[in-house]
Amino acid sequence: MVIRRLLSRDMAAEPTDLDDIRDQARRWLDDDPDPATRDELRAVLDRLPASAPELADRFAGPLTFGTAGLRGPLRAGPNGMNLAVVTQAAAGLVGWLAAEGATGPLVIGYDARHGSREFAERTARVATGAGRPALLLPRPLPTPVLAYAVRLLDAAAGVMVTASHNPPQDNGYKVYLGAQLGGALGAGAQIVPPADAGISAAIRAVGPLAEVPLGPAGERLGDDLVASYVQRAAAVVDPAWPRDLKVAYTPLHGVGAAVLTAAFAHAGFAVPGVVAEQAEPNPDFPTVSFPNPEEPGAVDLLVALAEQTGADLAIANDPDADRCAVAVRDGASGGWRMLRGDEVGVLLADHLMRRGVTGLYATTIVSSSLLRSMCAARGLPYDETLTGFKWIVRAGGGSAPLVFGYEEALGYCVAPDHVRDKDGITAALTVAELAAGLKAQGRTLTDRLDELAAEFGVHHTDQLSVRVDDLRIIADAMARVRAATPTTLLGQPVTEARDLLPASDVVVLRSDAARVVIRPSGTEPKLKAYLEVVEPVADGDVPAARQRAATALTALRAEIATALGV
């Protein structure tokens, strides 16, 4: 789990051991290879004692390297993303790869955030300095292209420098393993234990950065790699399927536009109209307050373009294009609404099933239980994992080949042999294929959702999400729900209460008609409760069942907020 380390207000207000922290800062300055961050840290030291809380936060501890790699604010000090932290991480990673006997190159990708190119190039020089070939992607590109390259090039590992949909002031460092160390299920997938612990230990063992050898810049890969990804991505859709569809699209100032539009054209679709204000990569994300398509207001420009152009479908990628958000016209109101991740997930799964794609379908414990019901009814293998695609792509333990996986946070894997991770490009293509097929029949995505509801019941999902400045609030809430676990949900007895500690900080509650999963976020200082209500459809009246489910979910949200004390 990667959570940015935050000091509580009390700790920040009353810094202790100031002399010790000052000494740590001076030692850091002596080892920092970047003049810019050295100047930044000197300015903080010059403002002491007024800057003591800030200095204490920067040296509260190193960013934690876990299964999601590193992620944190761009700033000097060990509790931030900077050239020193990246140099140490890269040296630890290549040292661990050598100790594990992995052969082959290190493939490195990066997005367009502040510092991404510099961090990628430093990683390449650390790799070549250790005698390992380094292959850099040709330019800022989507995360799925890096994951694809790890498999295609039979790399020992891959590094993607990105903070995905985090705020502009953040950056991150994700690690993927090749087949030698990842095995058949983890080839081109993000790391899982014990690899994370091994790499973390190797990072801690790195000595002075001045002693880390730096080699040449590595090999810059050509556009043929990107063309190969696009060709394989376009192949996920059926060439015989209808293609008459008008799509509006935004990359949210990220790196997805060129690759997605090329993939659509290669697959035979009309090139989507792109939101002009958000078409080019911009690390400041000037038109959105938070570059995440799930956040309020993030897709307002997209919806406006879809309305203006008469689009059939509106699609957004997050800035590194591994997630895919979908908006559709609401038949009742005439306006546009974002589909929930669970809605897109079951639509994609249903579409693949109807295309005859057999194999394992998987999702996570926080996603809707509808996929489980669909697989049971259709005789297909199903598995449920902890959150994160590092687990989804390893679902089933190899008992059946994975053919589809999704998580409710807008992540979808429709072609695991192409990219063994979430992929917002191929997900967008598959949604477009489904929408075009339905359009040819005079139907829509919402019509298909209603048909699934009539068959399996309304599965209404939502989140209770609480952002905090003090991580103790999250710890206290988790302790509270464990000490006084609810025995009923919506007046019905809890039939299952599972605490997943120590494997994962998760509490699961189920009744006959409701499910609640409570956990801290893995990437942000948030407490999350994932809520689901299942409401049967009587006499084919789906709207009435949806209304009952919405009312019940509002009540469930209030119950869980009370239980958590938030």
- Tell me the catalytic residues: 164
Which are the contacts of 143, defined by CB distance < 8 A and separation ≥ 6?
109, 111, 160, 162, 164, 174, 320, 321, 322, 421
* Residues 82, 88: Cα–Cα separation, whole Å: 10
Backbone angles phi, psi at 240, to 5 degrees: -85, -5
Distance CA 227, CA 223 (A): 6
User: Among 293, 323, 350, 342, which Cα is nearest to 411's?
Assistant: 323
User: Which residues is 387 bridged to in the sheet?
Assistant: none
Place of tokens 């810059």: 220
Question: Using CA atoms, how far apart are residues 29 and 415, in angstroms rounded to an integer?
Answer: 46
DSSP string across 333-360: TSSEEEPPHHHHHHHHHHHHHHTT--SE
Tell me how long the chain is: 566
Query: Helix/strand/coil (H, E, C) string of 11-37?
Result: HHHCCCCHHHHHHHHHHHHHHCCCHHH
Instruction: Say how far apart CA 390 and CA 34 lie, in whole Å.
Output: 33
Q: How many other C-beta atoms are found inside a 10 Å radius of the C-beta of residue 491? A: 11
Q: Which amino acid is at 286?
A: P
User: Position of tokens 């043929």?
Assistant: 224
Query: Rounded to the nearest 5°, which phi and psi values hold at 469?
Result: -100, -20
Asked if residue 291 lies in contact with residue 285, where contact means CB atoms within 8 angstroms, the answer is yes
- Three-state DSSP state, 324: strand
The residue among 151, 147, 122, 120 whose CA lies nearest residue 136 is 120
Residue in the block written with tokens 């903070």: 163
CA nearest to 401, candidates 435, 360, 366: 360
Residue 467, helix vs strand vs coil? strand
26-51 burial, b at 16+ Cβ within 10 Å, e below that, comes to eebbeebbbeebbebbeebeeeeeee
Evaluate whether 132 touches 150 at the Cβ level (below 8 Å): no
Task: Look up tokens 């907020």; give the residue.
Answer: 561
Query: Could you give the CA distance from residue 351 to residue 177 in angstroms, rounded to a whole number?
Result: 30
Tell me the three state secondary structure of residue 312: coil
| Alpha-carbon gap, residue 140 to 160, rounded angstroms | 10
Rounded to whole angstroms, the Cα distance separating 142 from 106 reads 17
**Secondary structure of residue 546 in the 3-state scheme:** helix
